[in-house]
Amino acid sequence: MNKSLSSLLFKYRSYTPIPFIIVMLVYENTNIWSLIIGFIIVSCGELLRLWGVSWTGSETRTTGHMEGTYLIISGPFAYTRNPLYIGNILIYLGIGIMSFAIFPYLQVFALLFFIFQYYHIIKAEEEYLLNRYGEQFKKYKKHVPRLFPRLTSYKPGAIKQPPFKLKAGLRSEKRTFQAIGFLTVTIFLLWFIGRF
């Protein structure tokens, strides 16, 4: 049951935010401070994601199955094992704050849902990584927290890493940039029109 739930959540993880986004737009109650604070949180989440995908490349975009050419332990992965999911949670939370819809109940519910979703996805990914990388992953898992970042960078022995590629990261994040841009402009316009 847990394995099938993890697979289902992994496969459809790009679509689970949609119901929350619809509610946030329908019940939008934006003010200037929610726009500013929410946008700052969204920007932090996206910068974290961009930093991460510039190390991992487009492999993080797969939905059918889990894969990984490297055990990535560089960049943000030296501080937390799941920087992309932390980035996602910050983005969703920031958009929720920007919209200020049914505040704070919708935001808290969405936050709890995404923590639940990523908990199950991460468990399945960790099983995959353990099977693929064995002792290397065990050592990494022991020293680097699942979500809350450590204060210093993890410096292991020689584990082959891909190069940092900002251009590839920017390409990989194109859809995320478009979604953030669309939602930000839409929320801003709803707020602006609602003032008149």
Structural domain boundaries enclosing 39: 2-194
pLDDT in tens, 30-52: 999 999 999 999 999 999 999 99
The Cβ of residue 99 has, within 10 Å, a number of other Cβ atoms equal to 29
Torsion-angle region of residue 57: left (phi > 0), alpha (psi -120 to 50) or beta?
A: left
Alpha helices in the chain (DSSP H): 2-11, 17-26, 32-56, 83-99, 105-133, 135-143, 166-172, 174-194
CA 89 to chain centre: 5
Higher-pLDDT residue of 65 and 112 is 112
With a cut of 70, say whether residue 165 has pLDDT above it.
Answer: yes
Pairwise CA distance, residues 99 & 38, whole Å = 8
With a cut of 90, say whether residue 144 has pLDDT above it.
Answer: yes
Report the pLDDT value the prediction gives residue 44, as an integer from 0 to 100: 98
Pairwise CA distance, residues 110 & 108, whole Å = 5
Q: Stretch 19-28: mean pLDDT, rounded?
A: 96
Pairwise CA distance, residues 89 & 83, whole Å = 10
With a cut of 60, say whether residue 91 has pLDDT above it.
Answer: yes
Q: Domain count of the chain?
A: 1
Domain containing 74 — which CATH number? 1.20.120
